């Protein structure tokens, strides 16, 4: 279990490449929030939609999302994809079980993240893993903005997560955090420069990245 004394030297990863690497080696993958609404059309056009990257390198891939219109956009771009409407706050009813479940930037939008983790664990095959990525409550950028009296956050977010908080949430869902990483968001040249500086600082501090990556395992297979 992660405690407040064990969160220094959290490795920095590239979020997308990390997920792609784990998905490539998994026999079957469930991607939750695959359509990335409301940015679906934009990210399909730019080639940045994670689900399309996973589809290019994954042996068996199922994508689920709650937004029907976004799923239709994704179907139009790739009719061969296995896509379904699914509310992660409801039980997993399909018969398939997966070696890897990916929930990237999803559970911070939910009213019941604990229920969501429990339902995601129902979709795991024996020995399966869940990758959850979330914005970081300990992010240095957020602290700096707070000092200036500003909070910049997606208006749909309901929860902040830190390593200790996610560890407790996972425990209540019957899961264990077995790996922890941090990542920095990269966009403009200016933000890439800032991220490069922050990555160097992160080597000697706690998790100050923009987001956190958790790999979760059911208790019985930890």
The pLDDT value recorded for residue 222 is 40
The residue behind tokens 């604990």 is 114
Does residue 10 lie in a domain region?
Answer: no
Q: Which domain holds residue 33?
A: 15-221
Cα radius of gyration (the chain): 17
Does residue 82 lie in a domain region?
Answer: yes
The pLDDT value recorded for residue 156 is 77
The pLDDT value recorded for residue 145 is 67
In terms of Cα–Cα distance, which of 69, 112, 104, 105 is closest to 87? 112
User: What CATH number did the domain enclosing 183 receive?
Assistant: 3.40.50.150
Does residue 106 lie in a domain region?
Answer: yes
- The pair of structure tokens assigned to 161 is 């997560």
The pLDDT value recorded for residue 123 is 97
- The pair of structure tokens assigned to 195 is 């991220």
Does residue 2 lie in a domain region?
Answer: no
- The pair of structure tokens assigned to 120 is 């995601």
127 with 100: CB under 8 angstroms?
A: no
97 with 62: CB under 8 angstroms?
A: no
**How many domains does the chain contain in total?**
1
Regions of the chain with pLDDT less than 70:
1-8, 142, 144-147, 151-155, 187-195, 198-205, 220-222
pTM of the model: 0.88
Does residue 5 lie in a domain region?
Answer: no
């Amino acid at each position: 279990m992660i405690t407040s004394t064990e969160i220094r030297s959290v490795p920095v990863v590239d979020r997308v490449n990390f997920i792609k690497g784990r998905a490539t080696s998994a026999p079957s993958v469930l991607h939750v929030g695959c359509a990335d609404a409301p940015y679906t059309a934009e990210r399909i056009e730019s080639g940045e939609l994670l689900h399309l990257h996973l589809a290019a390198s994954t042996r068996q891939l199922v994508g689920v999302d709650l937004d029907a219109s976004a799923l239709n956009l994704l179907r139009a771009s790739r009719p061969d994809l296995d896509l379904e409407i699914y509310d992660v706050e409801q039980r997993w009813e399909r018969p398939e079980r997966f070696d890897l479940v990916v929930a990237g930037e999803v559970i911070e939008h939910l009213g019941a993240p604990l229920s969501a983790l429990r339902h995601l664990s129902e979709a795991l095959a024996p020995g399966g893993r869940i990758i959850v990525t979330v914005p970081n409550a300990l992010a240095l950028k957020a602290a700096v903005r707070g000092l200036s009296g500003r909070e910049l956050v997606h208006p749909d977010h309901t929860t902040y997560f830190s390593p200790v908080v996610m560890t407790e949430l996972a425990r209540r869902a019957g899961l264990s955090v077995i790996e922890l990483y941090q990542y920095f968001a990269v966009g403009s040249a200016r933000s890439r420069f800032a991220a490069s500086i922050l990555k160097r600082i992160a080597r000697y501090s706690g998790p100050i990245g923009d987001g956190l990556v958790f790999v979760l395992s059911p208790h019985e297979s930890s």
